[in-house]
A and B are shown apart, each in its own frame.
Chain A
């Protein structure tokens, strides 16, 4: 009499491998992203904890850059860029999320508050060839795909900058800015009209 190991059905093995991959893959990617961020942001003055970069980034720092905790730079089809020129200052708060292709450039001062969200291809630069003025983005701001924030703009807390808009004037708190040049609208009215 011989004991024989009954082979498990192939489908269950495949399912288990898949499950393991799903469980481990996520954490592995996260660990890789944190390691990549540590390497990419090595030239910055202060980097918070748990900063993750899931894709390539171009980082040039000659000024002062301070990053908060738990930042996420999502990777994608285009590398993001983070540039701080000599004597300039770039401060990013905690829990901010950046999608791919973002372009942050500081010649004087750019400040970004906590819990902001930046979609892909957003450009924030405080010099445009004519003027050089500091940009302030307060907490909980959502900037949608392809928006451009011009120099000297202050975007108020909890505001939303709509996709593709060019923000040339200040945006008050709790406001939706859309269009080129961006017009400020009440979020109440817009959400009532569109049902969102």
Chain B
């Protein structure tokens, strides 16, 4: 038996989670933060209810740069090593899961041609409700993963993914469709 009674220890871990999320603009009810979460940049980060951020194996990075906005919906689960970088907006819908070492960015940071040190325009990135993103997947600007879709491990996405499909491979293609 732990010397601290359970409700108190739970209260303590919830308090610790809130402490780790203190740089967020909005934090919903009962967040669970394990391990390290880095929240930096002058932009704003909004976190919904009951999110689970598991940064035990590697830190989770939520980087909202100037004018950027990261919105995590309710019941979002993010595993360790995931990195979200927003210059404009990244929206993660309710119940979505991001796997370990995912990279989600709404700006390429360098243009394909011309001066590599200029920053190209951002394209808002949306992950809708109930989406599962596999480990080491990369979501590039313009990615719009619709409701209930699954992105397989290591897939690179930069366009709209229709609802309730599984995409995988490189270049990505639809592997499976959910039969309604």
Contacts and interface: CB of A to CB of B under 8 A. Distances in A.
B interface, over-half SS: loop
Interface stretch (A25-33, A40-48, A105-113, A174-182): A174-182
Contacts of A179: 170-171
A77 B58 contact: yes
Contact of B170 (A145, A165, A191, A196): A165
Contacts of B138: 145-146, 163-164
A98 interface: no
B58 A162 contact: no
Contacts of B169: 180
Given A78-B58, A179-B170, A180-B170, A196 B103 contact: no
B62 to A, nearest CB: 12
A160 B112 contact: yes
A54 interface: no
A117 interface: yes
Interface residues of B, number: 25
Nearest to A188: B113
Contacts of B108: 196
Contacts of A180: 169-170
A164 B170 contact: yes
B83 to A, nearest CB: 7
B56 interface: no
Size class of the contact patch on chain A: 20 to 34
Given A163-B140, A179-B170, A191 B156 contact: no
A166 B170 CA distance: 9
Contacts of B113: 187, 191, 196
A interface, over-half SS: loop
B34 to A, nearest CB: 15
Contacts of A78: 58, 81
A146 B103 contact: yes
A55 to B, nearest CB: 12
A163 B120 contact: no
A64 B140 CA distance: 37
Contacts of B116: 117, 140, 142
Interface in B102-141: 103, 105, 108, 110-113, 116, 120, 136, 138, 140
Interface in B16-48: 38
24 contacts: A77-B38, A77-B58, A78-B81, A117-B110, A140-B116, A142-B116, A146-B103, A146-B136, A146-B138, A162-B156, A164-B136, A164-B154, A164-B170, A165-B156, A166-B170, A178-B171, A179-B170, A180-B169, A187-B112, A187-B113, A191-B113, A196-B111, A196-B112, A196-B120
Interface of B: 38, 58-59, 61, 81, 83, 101, 103, 105, 108, 110-113, 116, 120, 136, 138, 140, 154-156, 169-171
Closest 4 CB pairs of A and B: A180-B170, A164-B156, A77-B59, A179-B171
Given A77-B58, A77-B83, A121-B101, 11 more contacts: A142-B110, A146-B103, A162-B156, A164-B136, A164-B154, A164-B170, A165-B156, A176-B112, A180-B170, A196-B111, A196-B112
